[in-house]
Structure 1
């Protein structure tokens, strides 16, 4: 199962939801897909979806997912990281009206460069390839990851605080 979450930011993230829904509709992705659509206006036709899930439902979806795809909000990719999963992160971009600025792009680039524990996707058309080669991509990352999630989360929290102070 693939779980997609776009968070609760009030601007739609139709670009991601529609792209994933099309991959499922075109049978490029054969496994089940669950999408948390938030305030997006596009309603998936080929995927299971809900605007919002409870925290417990989010945990269950992340836990059961083979792949977790999130927007670039740290709260959305902390959960999969804490569960030992490597998320695909598609940052919202101001140029598509998905956020007020490109801080999600900047944060994903910094985190990817410094920690290498996420799979960032900046151009939506590359998402298909990342999904189809996910298992191979995470093998390389997992080999470099330490199993101590607490240490990682503490370091990530330090990075977030550093960015906020900028």
Structure 2
């Protein structure tokens, strides 16, 4: 199953619509389950709910083979902890999807990390889903610990 999550604060109809299109055209035979929030678009080609409680969210994340999410740090961290490949698409302030472009900045930092694929827009989702699935099959996993260089810099800062 592919689990799609947009977080719990703002709707993200652009991503939900793109995933519904993918489920209709390319995802035939693949179960897609989405947490869609309060958006106005209601998917026709994938199973969905508006909200999941903590337990149901954790179960959906754990039972998925791949996650497609907004570029929220919580989704990325959870995918990494579970060893799940993740495709992230940033919300854009200019499209009224968020109050700032911090998710665009987040994906700039995340781009290229193993186990994570960045979709800059809805047209990128099909190829990004395929790339994330291929990387997962090859064993790519998002790191769950800090980079050793960062740890050394922090150690040097703290201890002088």
1:54 Cα offset (Å): 1.0
For 2:122, the equivalent position in structure 1 comes to 124
> Which structure shows the bigger proportion of residues in helix conformation?
1
TM (norm. structure 1) is 0.79
Which moves more between the two structures, 127-136 or 65-74? 127-136
Runs (5+) with no aligned partner, structure 1: 157-166
Which moves more between the two structures, 50-59 or 129-138? 129-138
For 1:82, the equivalent position in structure 2 comes to 81
For 2:43, the equivalent position in structure 1 comes to 44
1:22 Cα offset (Å): 1.3
RMSD of the alignment, in Å?
2.4
Q: Give runs of aligned pairs for residues 19-58 of structure 1, distance below 5 A.
A: 19-26=18-25, 28-30=26-28, 31-58=30-57
Runs (5+) with no aligned partner, structure 2: 151-160
TM (norm. structure 2) is 0.82
Give the aligned length.
148
Q: Is the contact between residue 116 and residue 141 of structure 1 (CA under 8 Å) also seen in structure 2?
A: no
